[in-house]
């Protein structure tokens, strides 16, 4: 699984919570050693900002994100913590390959990730219809 590693902007709250999960994952997280390595790299490269000042065009935890991929296919997902995921409701784990690629991405950005089959995928972040911080929620 390869990710497009570049510095990302994360709220310090998301950074703390995700760092804690990586260091001491809960049973529902089921993190592989490779996923932990990738998550640590994303977190190490992250620029931490106050949740009250993170721009609304940046993907944060529990953001609803609209993606467009090849052939103008679109999908909407909510970036979720392990244990909150639900394929039927479009809630995607932050520790999935797509989830790690989305964390801290910005509207208009092309994200890249490798799927379980090893095939590279790309999608463009088209919109963030809901971001907790933009909605005034600085605690989730």
Cα–Cα distance between 76 and 41 in angstroms, integer?
A: 26
In a domain, 104, yes or no: yes
Is residue 80 in a domain?
yes
Alpha-carbon gap, residue 57 to 106, rounded angstroms:
5
Number of folded domains that form the chain: 1
Give the pLDDT of residue 5: 58
Per the structure, the complete domain to which residue 53 belongs is given by: 9-130
SS3 123: strand
Largest Cα–Cα distance in the chain?
Answer: 40
Full-model pTM: 0.88
% of the chain beyond a pLDDT of 70: 91
- CATH number, domain containing residue 57: 3.10.50.30
The predicted pLDDT at position 70 comes to 77
Of the candidates 84, 41, 44, the residue with the CA atom closest to the CA atom of residue 62? 84
Residue 41 within any structural domain of the chain: yes
Mean pLDDT of the chain: 88
Region of residue 26 (phi > 0: left; psi between -120 and 50: alpha; otherwise: beta): beta
Domain contains 115: yes
> Averaged in consecutive runs of 10 residues, what is the pLDDT profile of the chain (140 residues)?
67 93 72 85 92 95 94 90 89 93 95 86 95 85
Token pair in block for residue 43: 């977190």
Q: Which SS3 state, helix, strand or coil, does residue 129 take?
A: strand
- 109 in a domain, yes or no? yes
* 136 lies in some domain: no
Give the long-range contacts of residues 68-73, CB within 8 A, separation 24 or more.
68/123, 68/124, 68/126, 69/121, 69/122, 69/123, 69/124, 70/122
Residue 83 lies in a domain: yes
Task: In whole angstroms, give the CA distance from residue 48 to residue 54.
Answer: 9
27 occurs within a structural domain: yes
């Amino acid at each position: 699984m390869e990710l497009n590693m570049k510095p990302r902007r994360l709220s310090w709250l998301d950074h703390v919570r995700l760092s804690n999960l990586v260091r001491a994952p809960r049973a529902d997280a089921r993190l592989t050693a490779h996923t932990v390595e990738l998550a640590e790299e994303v977190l190490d490269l992250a620029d931490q900002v106050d949740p009250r000042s993170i721009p609304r065009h940046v993907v944060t935890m529990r953001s609803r994100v609209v993606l467009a991929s090849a052939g103008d296919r679109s999908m909407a997902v909510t970036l979720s913590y392990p244990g909150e995921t639900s394929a039927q409701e479009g809630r995607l784990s932050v520790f999935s390959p797509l989830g790690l690629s989305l964390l801290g991405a910005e509207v208009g950005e092309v994200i890249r990730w490798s799927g379980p089959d090893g095939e590279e995928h790309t999608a463009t972040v088209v919109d963030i219809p809901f971001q907790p911080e933009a909605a005034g929620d600085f605690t989730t």
